[in-house]
Amino acid sequence: MDEVMYKRPGELINYPRDFTSFLPGDTSITAGSTVTAIDEAGTDVTSTLVATIARSGMILSCNFAAGIEGKDYTYTFQGIGTTTGQKKEHTVELRVRAKIGGAA
Amino acid sequence: MTLGEIKDVVREHFGRMGLPTVILDVALAEGRRLIEREANFWWMRATTTFNLVINTQDYLIGSALAVNIVNFKDARAINFKKSTETRWRPLTLGTMDQEELDVMYPTDSIGPPEIALVDNVTLKVYPPNPDIAYNMKLYHYNWTDNPATNILSDDITKNYGMALIYSAIIWGYEIELKDQQGAVYWRELLGGKPFGRGGEIAKLKRQNLKRDWQDKIVLVPHAGANSFSVRSLAQSQGYGR
């Protein structure tokens, strides 16, 4: 896991991921770059939890939406370099907690 | 507690980033095994039906095998009946060793099952050649898994959550932190000293004994033979292992 975040169920958080340092031979990522999400049981929840995906230059971003209290979701950002075709993945574990505050 | 709450408690102990979730899942799975190795508990009970095959003595136990059990731990009892019958008949299980039964029963003896045993992962019936395809019902204990998702709970997480928390922390101290002395403290909270006779394990064993008594009342003479071994909950460490 590359990063861990805590989020309250009602929050809508935009998360941008910059692939510049991981794909040095590229200046942009392809339209095929994706964001997917699974829950702690491995069930694919992309359709309900990945609200909006945006691609701009080397940045791939999405909104962390909704989520069920108590669950842990793993988001996988896959950036594909337009020039090199190289792929880099970045994972974020999102723990949805209404009553646990503070930093991860 | 739900499984997710138990994870959060263990995380707060090791640090929210200290134990990666995939490792935490392993710690909780191993923690559950640490508890289940101590006894055959009530939540591990299950039954499985299968049929004998004419002239076949051995039945492999396992996933998608003759006796389809995924995480078999121990056999408790076995019944059998003809497929046309509606009443099960008890079959003696595990009271004699295979080497004794092999001497007692000729290899060509035929008939309805009289005794059975589990040898490693094979259930054997004697006489060795069943005359018809009897229906069998095996009562057994399984190794169990933690709930699949954070928002679910089961008997351990809901009512004995501290047992699972302690056991996962023990695993974390021994494997992740390599701190044997730290693990000793948590090990005593889980199972007392000597391990298995105190702490949360003893509470589980007492409950296990009470639940077992609801199913099987055993009357023991208070005087006469064995008069010094009256069963009581205080002696529970002798049971359920």
Q: What is the mean pLDDT of chain B?
A: 90
Which amino acid is residue B34, in one-letter code?
L
Check A40 against B8: CB less than 8 A apart: no
Q: Please give the model's pTM, rounded to 2 decimal places.
A: 0.86
Write the pLDDT tens digit of every residue in B168-195: 999 999 999 999 999 999 999 999 999 9
- The region of weakest confidence among B20-24, B88-92, B143-147 is B20-24
**B130 preceded by cis ω (within 30°)?**
no
Region at B157 (left for phi over 0; alpha for psi -120 to 50; beta for the rest)? alpha
- What is the number of alpha carbons within 13 Å of residue A73 lying toward its C-beta? 27
Residue with tokens 């004998």: B52
Residues of A with CB under 8 A from a CB of B: 1, 4, 39-41, 68-72, 93, 97, 100, 103-104
B83 touches chain A (CB under 8 A): no
pLDDT band at residue B133 using 50, 70 and 90 as cut-offs: very high
Percentage, residues of chain B above pLDDT 70: 88
Write the pLDDT tens digit of every residue in A65-79: 889 999 999 999 999
Check B8 against A100: CB less than 8 A apart: yes
Q: What is the mean pLDDT of chain A?
A: 93
CA distance B139 to chain A (A): 29
Per-residue pLDDT at B78 exceeds 60: yes
Name residues whose C-beta falls within 8 Å of residue B175's C-beta, 6 or more positions apart in sequence.
Answer: B27
C-alpha B74: how far from its chain's center?
6
Q: What pLDDT score does B241 carry?
A: 40
Percentage, residues of chain A above pLDDT 70: 99
Check B21 against A97: CB less than 8 A apart: no
Residue with tokens 């692939």: A19
Calpha distance A20→A27 (Å, rounded): 7
Most trustworthy range by pLDDT among A6-15, A46-55, A84-93: A84-93
Task: For residue B61, give both structure tokens.
Answer: 């136990």
Per-residue pLDDT at A102 exceeds 90: no
Cross-strand bridge partners of residue A87: A80
Check A41 against B148: CB less than 8 A apart: yes
**Distance separating the N- and C-terminal Cα atoms of chain A:** 13
Q: Do A21 and A11 form a contact (C-beta atoms < 8 A)?
A: no
Q: Which residues of A touch B150 (CB under 8 A)?
A: 40, 70-72
Check B17 against A97: CB less than 8 A apart: no
Check B5 against A39: CB less than 8 A apart: no
Per-residue pLDDT at B64 exceeds 60: yes
Phi first, then psi, for residue B84 (nearest 5°) are: -85, -10
Q: What pLDDT score does B206 carry?
A: 93
The CATH number of domain A3-96 is 2.60.40.1220: yes
B13 touches chain A (CB under 8 A): no
Query: Can you list the pairs that B12-15 forms with residues at least 24 positions away whose Cβ atoms lie under 8 Å?
Result: B13/B169, B13/B172, B14/B169, B14/B172, B14/B176, B14/B177
Name residues whose C-beta falls within 8 Å of residue A86's C-beta, 6 or more positions apart in sequence.
Answer: A23, A25, A26, A80
Q: Do A63 and A51 form a contact (C-beta atoms < 8 A)?
A: yes
Q: What pLDDT score does A2 carry?
A: 87
Task: For residue B60, give both structure tokens.
Answer: 């492999």
- For B6, the closest chain A residue by CA position comes to A70
DSSP state of A81: B
ipTM associated with this complex: 0.88
Calpha distance A53→A49 (Å, rounded): 11
